[in-house]
Amino acid sequence: MALKIGVVLFKDASPFSREGNIACAYGEKPFFFNATTDLPSQTLWVTNAPSNSLYEAGLSRSPHVANDGYFRSRLSQIAQELGLTDDSISIEQQVKIMAEVLGCAADMLKTQLGLTQYPAYGMPQAVGQIYGSVEPPRNSLTHNVAELACQRFTACERQRMYERAEVFSYWAPRMTWANEMLELPLPDGHVELIAKHKLPDLGRNATSIVDWAYGRQAPLPLFAKIKLHGIEERVGRLMNYGAGALGVTSQTNTGQAYDARNFRDWTALPELAFLSNYGEVEILDVAIADRWQNTGLRTFKTKHSTVSYAYGIAAENLWVGTLRKNSGRFNISTTLSTAWLQAEDRMRCLKIALNLQKAGMEISNYGNGRISVVCPQSVRGLIPQAALENGLLYPASLSGLTPYPASSKNALCVQQRLITDKEYLMNIRIDRECRNQLESVYAPKRPAN
């Protein structure tokens, strides 16, 4: 772990570049450098290089050089959201703003988690070490159900290609989304198969099972093994059920091949509920977990934190970090709670994606509180209104749009205006005030002399 943190922008995002590279430590001035050996080793440098590039450059195990996925949102995404890709913003300004925003986010995460230094391999892993899950025994029924129900995001079926289309991502306000995800009860323990004669309609009707599972004081932590015989066309293209759009395949512990991104064998109740409304679903098996659990981890809720861009980054890492293992390499865990939380996230994104699809936008993927779209020029003017109606934010990199009327009492409107108007100094002041408030609550009190 390191005592300081900073941002590195390699030219062309390549660690092999020997000119045009620039770095800036949090709270300090930017400087150009030629090679990573020129970077101070006591600082953790978050770079714009992907993990495979750092691996090829022999930097993947360097404790003071991190890839662009150190935070859940990549540096390229953050630059687009904040409009830092604009030609009018110099490279020195870009790296300085990034260092201030991400340094403040890292400080808030470090303080909230009680860490003394910045973790070397990513903020989600640090959260996972404290709040992550313990996986069930491999080859067990519980592990098999969890493995075949987990799905991080969905890559959608594309229908057509557009010329001069806007390709970008909407995102839900990260602090609000994280708060909702962290408050959800999640299944825990082991699963037990339920005999068909104990199920409503002998397990023949998916809707009856959903109603039965939800229609009680506390919903059942239910998973179902299903076969989908048909689904409404517009929903089918978005769910891309079983199509394997990007051809990502994997194997279970028993050697069974399956599509790791789009194919669903087992589904958690939130996804089953959605499928039963739009498709013909055959229930093959039903399993119910022992109990519910929750990590107890929560976001820091204040007036400033709801509009702080930096705390949004911090909050996002809190909830996605709970999906990690709590040991080893802290990869995404294969647990019932992970599968359930991913299903809740994706289904909420899918409902929004349906609305954006109706507005004339094509959806390329969704998940993790983000919906990526291809927007034809004919409906480009609807981007701000669609964001407002669906409680989303859109990036400052989209120029020439007419913003919707903003209300100073609405956190979404305030945050969107700060982003759209590129109020970097104001954003940084809000971030710092939020950090000071958080530190006053979470920082350990020093004993009086």
Pull the structure tokens for residue 183: 């408050």
How buried is residue 160: exposed, middle or buried, by Cβ count under 10 Å (0-12/13-18/19+)? exposed
Query: CA-CA distance, 132 to 113, in Å (whole number)?
Result: 13
- 23-67 pLDDT, tens digit per residue, is 999 999 999 999 999 999 999 999 999 999 999 999 887 889 999
Q: Is the pLDDT higher at 397 or at 447?
A: 397
Decide the pairing of beta strands 266-268 and 370-375: unpaired
Annotated domain spans of the chain: 141-159+183-293
Q: Looking at residue 263, what is its pLDDT?
A: 54
Residue carrying structure tokens 């059920």? 241
Q: Is 385 left (phi over 0), alpha (psi -120 to 50) or beta?
A: alpha
- 342-375 pLDDT, tens digit per residue, is 999 999 999 999 999 999 999 999 999 999 999 9
pLDDT over threshold 70, residue 395: yes
Q: Which amino acid, residue 416?
A: Q
Determine contact, residues 46/84, Cβ cutoff 8 Å.
no
Decide the pairing of beta strands 43-47 and 65-66: parallel
Q: Looking at residue 124, what is its pLDDT?
A: 93
Please tell me whether residue 276 adopts helix, strand or coil conformation. Answer: helix
pLDDT over threshold 80, residue 288: yes
Q: Looking at residue 243, what is its pLDDT?
A: 38
DSSP letters spanning 112-155: HHT-SSB-SS-HHHHHHHHH-BPPPPTTSHHHHHHHHH--S-EE
pLDDT over threshold 70, residue 290: yes
Closest to 341 measured CA to CA, from 298, 293, 373: 293
Residue carrying structure tokens 């002998």? 202
Averaged pLDDT, 184-191? 96
Confidence of residue 102 (pLDDT cuts 50, 70, 90): very high
pLDDT over threshold 80, residue 162: no
Q: Looking at residue 449, what is its pLDDT?
A: 47
